[in-house]
Chain A
C-alpha cells in the first residue's frame, strides 16, 4: 500500500466515515446543504450587523469630539445668549467655542438650477470645517463655504458669488458633506449675515477627543443645569455612539439567534440522516461488532461521519458567507476589503464552529445507539 494510504489508515474511523458518506452522495449532499444554509445564516447576518455598525460609526466618528449646546426647555430666552456663550468660554478654557445661527435657503445657478441648502452662520469656521479646495478662514467675514456636491450641481467655483438674503458672498472654500447627520447641502457664511436672529441656535464646542467632550458635557451640566432643570440642552455624539453601539450589540445578538435557529433545524436534519443511515446499516454494524470491532470504535466511526458533515458544511458555508460578506460590505460601505477585518471574519469562525458542534451533537445519539446494539440482534436484522 502507498505511503499516503498507510497514513490515512492511521485514522480508521475517519477513513471508514468518509467511505460511508460516499456511499449515498445525494443524502450526504442534502444533509450538508442544511448545514451550509445554517452557517450562511449565522455568518452573513453577523457580518451584515458588523457592516451596518461600522457604517453608522463612521458616520458618527467625526462628531464624537463635538459638544453641542442649545437652549433648553427651561430657558426663558430664545436661543443661547451672549452671556451664556461667554460663560461657556470661561468654563471650557482653550477648546474652540463656535456659536452658530442657522437657517435655510434656496440657491440658484445662472442657468436656473436650484439647490435647497441649510445655512450656518459662524465666525471661526476653521474650527468646524475642513475644506477640500480653497481655504477655511480663521475669521469668516465676507466669504462663504459651500459643500462640494452643491457647488458641483450649481456649477459654482471658487471665487463665484452666492446670494443669501439679498447679499453676495464669494465662495472661498469647498467642504466635504456627509461628516455627520443631516449635513447634506450646507452654506457657511459669516454670522453677521444672520443678525436679525436673537441669540444663537446652537453653540459647538470642539474638544480634543471624545473623552474630553464627555467631560465638558458634565462640567457644563453642573454649571448651567441645576437638578432636573434644563436651561441648556447639552449633547455629545460620543454618548449617542455608546447608545448606538449597545443597540447594535443587541441587534447582532438577535441576528445570531435567527442564524442559530436555522442551524438547529439543520442539526435535526443531521440527526435524522444519521439515524436513518445507522438503522439501514444495522446488520453491517453487527458484522463489525461480531468480528471484534469495539463499541468505542463504532461510536467514533459514526461520530466522524457526523463531524464530516459538519466540517464540509462549515467550510462550504464559510466560503459562501465570505462571498456574501464581500457583497454586503461593497453595498453598505462601498469597500469590500472591510470584510477582511477580524470583526467580520470571526463570524465565519463562529459559523464553522457552530456547524461542527451541532453536527457532532446530532451524531451522538445515533452513534451511541449503533454502538450499543447487541451484535446478535443486529445480525438477525
Chain B
C-alpha cells in the first residue's frame, strides 16, 4: 500500500475556549493538511488562532469538534497517554524560545525525546544531526554557551531525533536576527528534503514565507 501523502490533517476542526462565562471560538471549522517533504507556513494576525491550530496538528490538544488524522488514522479521541506516544514517534517541535534544558549538553538535549528509551542508544544519531546543522564541535556545550541561532539548531536536531513525519515550528525565527533566521530556514529546507518530513511553521516573518512551498492564511479562526 502506498503511504498516504497527507501525513497530518484537520477536518472541520473547531476549538472553543470557555473563559469566565464567555466562549471564544479560536478555530471555526478548519480544513488543513500537510504532506511529507513540504513546508507550509501559517500566517495571520495575532490572536487569529495560529497557535491553537498548531497545538491540534501537534496532538498537544484535542478539537472541540471535527477530526484529526495522523497518517490517515483518526486520532481525535486518543487519550493523553496515546497522544504522547504519537508525539514521541511522529512529531517534532521547534519553539520560538528554543526551550532547551539548561542542565543538559547540546547532545543530551538532542537525545532528550528518546532519553527514556534506554534500550535504544541515540547518541550517534544525535551527534550526526548536530554535525548536519553545523554544530559538530559543540556537542558538549550547554545552552548558555551557545548563541540564539545555535540553540535553535540544537532544537531542530532535537525535533528530528526520533525520525518524525512532521516538524512543527511556532515562530522559529521570532527570537533571531534576519541573517541567523535565514540560516535556520536554509537548514529546515535541507532537512525537509533529507528527512522527508512535513514542516508546518507559524510565522509573522515574510522571509519565512519565501522559503515555504505553500502558505495558508488564518483570520479569526478561519482559513482564507
Contact = CB atoms under 8 A, between A and B. Distances in A.
Interface string A1-18: 100001001111100100
Looking at chain A's contact residues, the main secondary structure is helix
A290 B123 contact: no
Interface stretch (B94-102, B171-179, B187-195): B94-102
Given A1-B123, A375-B60, A288 B112 contact: yes
Interface string A287-319: 111111111010000000000000000000000
Nearest to B89: A292
Contacts of B158: 291
B61 A376 contact: yes
Contacts of B101: 284, 287
A20 interface: yes
Given A19-B103, A23-B103, A290 B118 contact: no
B99 A283 contact: yes
Contacts, number: 69
A10 B118 contact: yes
A379 interface: yes
A10 B55 CA distance: 32
B162 interface: yes
Given A287-B95, A292-B84, A297 B103 contact: no
A12 B116 contact: yes
B116 A287 contact: no
B221 interface: no
A295 B81 contact: yes
B160 to A, nearest CB: 11
A295 B121 contact: no
Interface of B: 55, 58, 60-61, 80-81, 84-85, 87-89, 91-93, 95, 99, 101-104, 112-113, 115-116, 118, 121, 123, 158-159, 162
Closest 8 CB pairs of A and B: A292-B88, A19-B103, A291-B113, A287-B99, A292-B87, A12-B115, A297-B116, A376-B61
Interface of A: 1, 6, 9-13, 16, 19-20, 22-23, 283-284, 287-295, 297, 374-376, 379
